[in-house]
Amino acid sequence: MRSYRTGAVGATLAVVALIATACGSGGGAKASSSTTASGAAKPAVIVGGANFSEATLLAYVYGDALKTAGFPVSFKTAIGPRETVQPALQAGQINFEAEYAGNLLAYFNPNAAAMSAAATAAALQPYLAKKGLEEGTVSRAADSDAIAVNSQTEAKYHLTSLAQLAPVAGQLTFGGPAECRTRITCIPGMAKDYGIHFKSFTELDSGGPITIAALHSNQIQVARLFSSDPSIAKYNFTVLADPKNFQDAGNIVPEFSKSVATAQLVTVVNQVSATLTTADLIAMNSQISNAQTSPQSVAQQYVSAHHLG
Amino acid sequence: MVHFLSGVATFFSTWSNWTGSNGIFHRLAQHVEISAISVAVALVVALPLAMWLGHTGRGGFAAISVANIGRALPSFAVLVVGAAWLGIGQKPALLALILLSIPPIVTNTYTGIAQVDADQKDAARGMGMTGWQVLRQVEIPSAIPLIFAGIRTATVQCVATATLAAYVGYGTLGQFINEGLANSLNGHVELFCGALLVVVLALVAEVGLAGVQRACTPRGLRLHGRVAPAFAEDALVVPAVQ
C-alpha cells in the first residue's frame, strides 16, 4: 500500500513536472524572442475569440495575417463571452484577441463614459498595462452592439430611436445573451439612460441564429444584435438610434500579451487594423451567414486579397 | 477556495435566489418538466418499437444503426435548427431532448429482449403461450435490467443536456450556468451552483429509477431477497435465475 502510494505520488509529480517544463520552455522561448532586438524570432501566437461569428472571423483575419508573416499561429475560437475570454488572455491560455474598444473598456471599468474610438483606446491603455497586455492600433472598422426592433414592432409604434422606446417597452419582450442582464451596455444601461423597462427578458444566444429567428418570428420584439449583422437588412429590422450614446465605440482593437508583442507582430497587426473597414466587416459577415462560407475561408480570402502579413 | 465555498453557501442560503421567475424553484420545475416530458415521449416511441423488433428478431441491425446515428447527433445543433423551425421556448428543447433520449432506450430494450435465452422461449411456447404472452411474461421480465439501464441512461443524459434549453429562452437550471459564464465578478459561484443542482437532480432521478426498477424486477431475477408482493405473479411464471 505504502509503496503504491509513493508510486502514485511520484507519477503525479512527474506529470506535473512535465507540464511545468512544457509551459516553462514555451515561456522561455517567448521571453528570449522579445529580447531579440530585430524581432527575428517569432513567438508562438495563440489567437482566441468570443463565442459569436464575427469574433471568429476577426480571429482568423488577424491570425492568418500573422501566419502569412511567418508566425506560428494556433486558434482557440468561440471560447465564450468577454467575461470568459479576458481571464483566459490574462492567464496566458491565449495571447491574442481582436476586441471591441468600447466594450472592452466597459469590461475593465463599468462606469467609463462612452467616448470616441481614439479616446477609448487611450483610456484602455492603463488597464491593459496592469494585466501585462498591450493594444494595437484601433481600426476604423466598427461593430457596435445594436438594439433593434422587428418590422412589425416598427410599423406599430413607428420607432426610430431608443428615446421613443420607454413608453411602449412595457409591452415588448427583449431578447439577448445572458450577459445582457448585468452589462452596462445592455439592459442596465438602457434603464439608466432611457428609462426603458421591458415586459420581460428572454435569454438567447449572442446575436446569433436563435436571436435572429426569434426576432423575425416576433417571439421577441426587441433584440441585442450587432450593427454589422447582414440579417438586419435581410429581415428589415430597424436599429434604434442611440442619441445618448449609451453604447460604446465598437471599433475593433487588437489586444495581446506583452510576451508576444515583438515589433514585427505589432507592425503586422496594425497593418490589418488599418486595412479593415466597416464595409469589409458587413461584406464578410454576409458571406458567412448568407453564402454559408466558413469564417476561416472568408478570412483567408481577405488576407490574401489585401496582401496582409 | 474558502472564498469560493462561502460564495456557494451564500448563494444557496439567499432566499431571493430560490423564489421568483429566475429563482431555483422555478428553474428546477422547468428542468424537471422538460426532462420528464422528453423521457416519457421517448418511452412511448421507443419501448414498443424496440420490444417488437427484439421479439420478432427482425430489423434489429437497422434499428440499432439508426439509433446509434441518433446518438451521435449533437443536441446543440438540433436546438439551433429547431429554434429556427419551431420558434424559441420549450419546443426546440423538447425536440433535442426527445431525440437524445430515444437511442439508449431503443438499443438497450432491443438487446435485452433479443438476447433472452432461446430455451426459455421454447419452454414458454411449449406451455402453449401465444407470442404476446411470451413477450409479456417471459421476455420483458427477463430483460428488465437492460431495459432499465437504457431508461436510466436516457434520463441522466436528458437531465444533464436540458441545460441547453437556456439558449432558446426556456429557463431551466442551465440559465444559472449561462449567467455564471457571463458574469466575471461572481460568475464561477453561480455556474458551479447551477451545475451542482443539475448533478443532484440527475442523481435523484437515477436513484428513483433504481427503486422503480427494483419494484419491476421479478423475484426470480433479483440478486437480493426482498420482494414487492404485487409482482409475485410474474415471478411464478419466469423460470429460474439465469
pLDDT tens readout for residues A22-41: 443 433 333 333 444 444 68
A55-78 average pLDDT score: 96
Chain A environment of B175 (Cβ under 8 Å): 178, 203
Across A140-154, b (16+ Cβ under 10 Å) vs e yields: bbbbbbbbbbbeebb
User: How is residue A138 written as a grid cell?
Assistant: 484601433
Give the pLDDT band (50/70/90) at residue B158.
very high
| ipTM of model | 0.71
In the predicted model, is pLDDT for residue B93 greater than 50? yes
Chain B environment of A213 (Cβ under 8 Å): 83-84, 87-88
- Residues A143-181: pLDDT tens digits? 988 999 999 999 999 999 999 999 999 999 999 998 898
* B201 in Cβ contact with B159 (< 8 Å): yes
Give the pLDDT band (50/70/90) at residue A112.
confident
Mean pLDDT of chain B: 87
Considering only residues B92 and B2, tell me which one the structure prediction assigns the higher pLDDT: B92
Say whether B88 and A182 touch across the interface (CB within 8 A). Answer: no
Residue A238 β-bridge partners = A149
pLDDT at residue B58, as a whole number: 83
pLDDT at residue A251, as a whole number: 93
Give the pLDDT band (50/70/90) at residue B227.
very low
pLDDT at residue B71, as a whole number: 82
Say whether B182 and A177 touch across the interface (CB within 8 A). Answer: yes
Considering only residues B63 and B116, tell me which one the structure prediction assigns the higher pLDDT: B116
| The residue to which cell 463571452 is assigned | A81
pLDDT at residue B185, as a whole number: 64
Rounded Cα distance, B162 and B173, in Å: 8
Rounded Cα distance, B118 and B113, in Å: 11
Q: Mutate one of A131, A198, A203, A219 to test the B interface: name it (highest B CB count within 10 A).
A: A203
User: How is residue B201 written as a grid cell?
Assistant: 437532480
Which residue in chain A has the smallest CA separation from B185? A83
pLDDT at residue B223, as a whole number: 61
| Total Cβ atoms within 10 A of residue B77 | 10
Size of interface A-B (CB pairs under 8 A): 69
Say whether A210 and B88 touch across the interface (CB within 8 A). Answer: yes
Q: Is A209 on the interface with B (CB under 8 A)?
A: yes
In the predicted model, is pLDDT for residue A246 greater than 90? no
Strands A222-226 and A145-149: antiparallel
By Cβ distance, the residue of B88, B181, B187 closest to A204 is B88
| Chain B positions with Cβ closer than 8 Å to A | 79-80, 83-84, 87-89, 166-169, 171, 175, 178-179, 181-184, 187
In percent, how much of chain B has pLDDT > 70?
90
Rounded Cα distance, B36 and B24, in Å: 18
pLDDT at residue B241, as a whole number: 40
* A271 in Cβ contact with A179 (< 8 Å): no
In the predicted model, is pLDDT for residue A10 greater than 90? no
Chain B environment of A201 (Cβ under 8 Å): none
pLDDT at residue A21, as a whole number: 42
Rounded Cα distance, A215 and A150, in Å: 6
B204: three-class secondary structure by DSSP: helix
By Cβ distance, the residue of A83, A177, A181 closest to B184 is A83
Side-by-side strand order, sheet with A73-76:
A73-76, A45-48, A96-100, A252-257, A133-135
Chain A environment of B168 (Cβ under 8 Å): 204, 210
B179-191 average pLDDT score: 78
pLDDT at residue B187, as a whole number: 65
pLDDT at residue B62, as a whole number: 86
